[in-house]
Chain A
Amino acid sequence: MPRWGMVIDVKRCIACWGCSIACKEEHFLPPNVFWNRVLIGERGKFPSSSKLILPILCNHCSDAACVEACPTGATYIREDGIVAVDDEKCVGCRACLVSCPYQQRTYYDNEVKDREYFPGQGKTELELIGEKLYPFKLGTVIKCNFCTERLEDGMKKGLEPGVDEDASPACVNICPVSARVFGDLDDPNSKINRLIMEHKGKQLRPEFGTEPAVYYID
């Protein structure tokens, strides 16, 4: 069984927000809900200042704080390493949300559900279709799932995640500079492992001991 992970080359990222938009489109996410963000910061003072770009998403940690905190087992780690939420079991206590050091989860309540992309003008056809095609359960927590549906459908067709677009996460496919690489962390010959080794890939905030499956290289 593979263990899915991602490598993000921060030197390549041009902060186009394509990943954020593709993710929103894939999962029909309501306004202000992001499973993929590109953070922009700056370091130093002019004239020796530099811009910092950091794409972030759920790290699908193998020692996830959210899984530990969940009192019902709704948040769990699948065999393929993806941290998933079973919305039938989620009670909406938000312990996972509070305990995530990366803050990559969203509580889906009426306030989030009722948001409109064009406030005051009602929901667009696309938003209404999205609610039917990709429904979220009220009072539960939602998060990035590494586009599980694409992965599973693609693999059923014999495609390889990380190689074939139809079996890879939307954020990976959309990236115009190929800053994101998806693959099997347990396969020593995979491209993702080669990149981590060659570029000494780093995990985000390793001090929390969560063992993220998302690595950053530069």
Chain B
Amino acid sequence: MSNDNHELIQTMFPPDGSGVKPYEWMINPTRQRQWIDKQGLFLWLAFFFSEIGAGLYFVSLFYEYKLGLVLGWLITLILGGLIHVAYLGNPFRAWRMIMKPNTSELSRGIWIIGIFAALGLLQMVTSGGFNMVFNVIMGILCLLIISHGFATMNVIRALPAWSSTMVLPFSIISGVWVGQQVLQFMLAVSGATALASGMEVWAEIFFFAYFLCLVLYVWGTWHANEIGQASIKMMVSEELKKITLIGVVGLAIVLPLILTLIMWGGDTNAFLIFLRLAAIFAGDLAVRYIIMKSAVYKPLLERN
């Protein structure tokens, strides 16, 4: 094959599969690409940062820890918000996304983040901000933001791996778990070691809840239908095997488990908490990446 021909074929049918031959489109389980490949990576990061920021804010409410509120609010709005906007094809029209809260989950999310931004600011600047009513309202808003990314994915009926029942509980647990770990680390390094040690019992509960949700998600998706099975198989395929093994199994489960067992009963120190935070930070990113990357559509041609 001449070089020119080779270049032509590479351009028309890139090896990443994005340019499959037109007559082979959707005749096999086909992976969704828009929300994870190329510019789609922004969305993966945006969902993550919005959710852990809201998770940190949520846990900080229980400890009435203002620095946690400020950091959580900033992570959600600045990191999460800006990355969301960077993902859009026409970022200057982002305001238009408030237009359809009646049907669009994305639109509802923008409203919730807007209300969270305003009320959160009010809570942070007022002296009596930690009253029960405010806390309950902000707690509910935080949970809605934590579940927003996966809720947006969950409503897509065409992708069984995302429409699994376990997607929403998993996203809530994961947001709160990472947020709780950020707060525990902040308390440990700021000298509040007794508080950080007291939080360990919650770390144990959240870790096992996270693990359970992950197992139930995989089990549920596998048993949903043959397309769900194709998604799970893709998670352990050659392309994603390393991320699944190192990121999901190693960093999201095994390492936090070991560190949780070492600190069992509240025997904590800042370094170990930092190690666990770093592991679950990278691990949770890997879990989300795998879930977004392995979602496949049902082929349009029925074959046997």
Instruction: State the A residues within 8 Å of B (CB).
Output: 15, 17, 20, 31-32, 34, 37-44, 52, 54, 56, 65, 67-74, 89-95, 97-103, 107, 109, 115, 119-120, 138-140, 204-205, 208-209
Contacts and interface: CB of A to CB of B under 8 A. Distances in A.
B156 A39 contact: no
> Interface extent on B, as a size class?
35 or more
A69 B7 contact: no
B157 A115 contact: no
Contact of A69 (B39, B99, B106, B301): B106
Contact of B11 (A39, A89, A98, A119): A119
Q: Which residue of A17, A54, A140 has the most chain B CB atoms within 10 A of its CB atom?
A: A54
A40 B90 contact: no
A39 B303 contact: no
Given A43-B304, A65-B156, A101-B297, 19 more contacts: A31-B11, A37-B22, A37-B25, A39-B26, A39-B27, A56-B26, A65-B158, A69-B104, A70-B100, A71-B104, A71-B106, A72-B96, A72-B100, A91-B94, A92-B89, A98-B35, A99-B157, A101-B157, A119-B12
A205 B89 CA distance: 30
B107 interface: yes
A34 B25 contact: yes
Contact of B25 (A95, A103, A107, A109): A103
A70 B104 contact: yes
16 contacts: A37-B25, A39-B23, A52-B303, A56-B300, A68-B103, A72-B93, A72-B97, A89-B93, A90-B89, A91-B91, A93-B88, A94-B40, A95-B104, A109-B39, A139-B89, A140-B89
Contacts of A101: 157-158, 297-298
A208 B158 contact: yes
Contact of A54 (B7, B159, B300): B300
A37 B23 contact: yes
B24 A39 contact: yes
Main SS of chain A's interface residues?
loop
B32 interface: yes
A40 B96 CA distance: 40
A205 B19 contact: no
Given A90-B89, A97-B34, A31 B23 contact: no
Contact of B156 (A15, A99, A107, A119): A99
Interface in B93-139: 93-94, 96-97, 99-100, 103-107, 110
A42 B303 contact: yes
Contacts of A65: 156-158
B193 interface: no
B300 A205 contact: yes
Contacts of B104: 68-71, 95
A176 B64 CA distance: 73
Given A37-B25, A39-B301, A101-B298, A94 B90 contact: no
A137 to B, nearest CB: 8
B47 to A, nearest CB: 13
A95 B151 CA distance: 12
A204 B88 contact: no
Nearest to B93: A91
A39 B90 contact: no
Contacts of A43: 303-304
A97 to B, nearest CB: 5
A71 B105 CA distance: 8
A151 to B, nearest CB: 25
B82 interface: no
A204 B297 CA distance: 14
B152 interface: yes
B97 A38 contact: no
Contact of A140 (B23, B90, B155): B90
A97 B30 CA distance: 13
A72 B30 CA distance: 27
A72 B103 CA distance: 10
B30 A95 contact: no
Contacts of A39: 23-27, 300-301
B90 A34 contact: no
B8 interface: yes
Nearest to B301: A41
B23 A69 contact: no
Contacts of A100: 158
Nearest to B85: A91
